[in-house]
Amino acid sequence: MDLEFTVIERGSTIGGTWYWNNYPGIGCDVPSHLYSFSFFLKSNWTHFFSYGGEIQRYLRSCFYHFSLGENIEFDTEITRAYWNENTRLWEITKLKDGKTTNESFNILISCAGGLHRPNWGGFRGVEKYKGVKVHTTRWPKDLDLNGKTVGLIGSGASSIQILPSIVKNFKIKKLVHFQRNAAFVLPRNQFAYSNRVNSFLAIYPFGVIYRWLQYVIREIRFIFLWRFYKLGVNQWIRELHAKGIRKHIKDEKVAEAMVPDYVMGCKRILISDEFYTALNEPCYNLDNSGILELNERGIVTKSDKHQLDVIVFATGFDLTSNFKFLTEVNICYVYFLVFTVFKHNPNMKMLKGGEDIKTLWGIFYPNVPNFVSILGPMTGLGHNSIIFMIECQIQAIINVIKMLFDERKDCFMPTEKAVEEWNEEWVDRIESSIWSRSNCVSWYQQGDPNNRAWGLWPGSCTEYWWRTSKIPESKFKFFN
């Protein structure tokens, strides 16, 4: 299409999640060959599930392969994004090295995603604690845990990766694990690829077939574990999972505390080969009574007071603030990186406080011209590769831009009818899905006034591809 474009990146290099997160044991829960772009395949992955460092190196090689260096501005934040009704342009204010500059663009694309602002848990007294506080997405490279009493808050994806790694690589005096709810942690079945296998996968079309095989397996799993979770397969795996926990964890009380009491898949399913066995380490202690507050020396729970040298917050991300622009009156519509948007315009407000978030397939937004997002609301997954979803969204954006050129217009936005029809369908489907409010309370529902899992796509990846690959022009309005 021969378009001029600029990429604005807050970090010092590319990588996104894999740049900002470098905690011990970080890795991906999607197979390496599937967690990669279809247009830039890599045959020589070292492991079936890649670790963070290798994924970032892959992304950097992709970046250099397509010579994107001249189109990107690193170490730059967006502090203001304003749609000018008169010029029909997005006016962007950028901050770099303490200096601000302004630039205008025809189309604004947010690729910030939803998982980049740390959630510190909202515990009372966090500011009082005098020891070392660490969030998993801000892990210091020189952090030494040898001989320390460590508190680990959380039982999600980062927690189950960090815990086995730090008990293995540090001589921790005592580790206190603060758990609110148990998670489903299934076997990772990790293995390393041999040179012979990598050489075979480098031969076309074997690597492509292998990649699609991993995709199909996960789509089939979706049908039986998520879509038709009441058929019995889900319950059968839950029972096997509980038996496995009791087999691997020696302490009976700890084992019982690790058995989830909700429908599998309602919350994120985790994978690890080391987590449950790491709970047998002499330094491990579990406190799942509930955190009351933090004080100067550590954490106070309903059952005990813990003096801690280091507190690790494996408490995830703040989805609410990432998508704050969608839920407040007259707030401008962009959630780039880390910044506050403060454009007020009553003629272009998206939602009133307390209303549902509304999008068209998580990409396009009502009453917001020439703005799209990658990995916006309603596009998160629990079963397959988010890279596939990104490629679908990029293709959808390209198709709409082509329509804009064909119509010889300057602006586009989805019709209100198209947005309303999709959101009504989404509500019906999410309410009857495994992610329904009746099945559990999860971070997927964070910030939604109706406690719906507004971050998730309710169907298969194949359905998303079908919907976004052939977009009817009638779902959009084009104007000058």
Residue type, 75: D
pLDDT of residue 345: 36
Closest CA to 187 of 113, 232, 149, 244: 244
Greatest CA separation for the chain: 69
Cα–Cα distance measured from residue 421 to residue 400, given in angstroms and rounded to the nearest whole number = 19
> Which run of H or E residues covers position 391?
helix 386-407
pLDDT of residue 322: 58
- Residue numbers in the chain where pLDDT is lower than 70: 320-356, 447
361: Cβ contacts below 8 Å, ≥ 6 apart: 378, 379, 393, 396, 422, 464, 467, 468
The token duo for 227 is: 């879509």
Signed CA dihedral, 343, 346, 347, 351: sign only: positive
The CATH-assigned architecture of domain 126-184+230-313 is 3-Layer(bba) Sandwich (3.50)
Cα–Cα distance measured from residue 312 to residue 385, given in angstroms and rounded to the nearest whole number = 28
Packing angle, helices 461-469 and 386-407, rounded to 10: 10
Sketch the domain layout of the chain as residue ranges.
76-117+318-479, 126-184+230-313
> Which run of H or E residues covers position 168?
helix 157-169
The end-to-end CA distance of the chain, in Å, is 21
Q: Are 88 and 74 in contact (CB under 8 A)?
A: no
β-pair partners for 270: 185
Strands 371-373 and 77-84 come out as unpaired
Q: Are 148 and 163 in contact (CB under 8 A)?
A: no
The answer to whether 76-117+318-479 and 126-184+230-313 have equal CATH topology is yes
Cα–Cα distance measured from residue 93 to residue 84, given in angstroms and rounded to the nearest whole number = 13
The token duo for 332 is: 């401008």
DSSP, res 303: S
pLDDT of residue 342: 30
Is pTM, for the whole model, over 0.85?
A: yes
Q: At which residue do the structure tokens 């189109």 appear?
A: 71
Pick the CATH number of 76-117+318-479 from 3.10.520.10, 2.30.29.30, 3.50.50.60, 3.40.190.10: 3.50.50.60
The token duo for 73 is: 């501005």
Closest CA to 197 of 46, 57, 29, 53: 46
β-pair partners for 93: 80, 102
> Which run of H or E residues covers position 313?
strand 310-313
Q: Are 451 and 437 in contact (CB under 8 A)?
A: yes
Q: Are 110 and 376 in contact (CB under 8 A)?
A: yes
Q: What is the 3-class SS of 184-243, one letter each residue?
A: CEECCCCCECCHHHHHHHCCCCHHHHHHHHHHHHHHHHHHHHHHCCCCCHHHHHHHHHHH
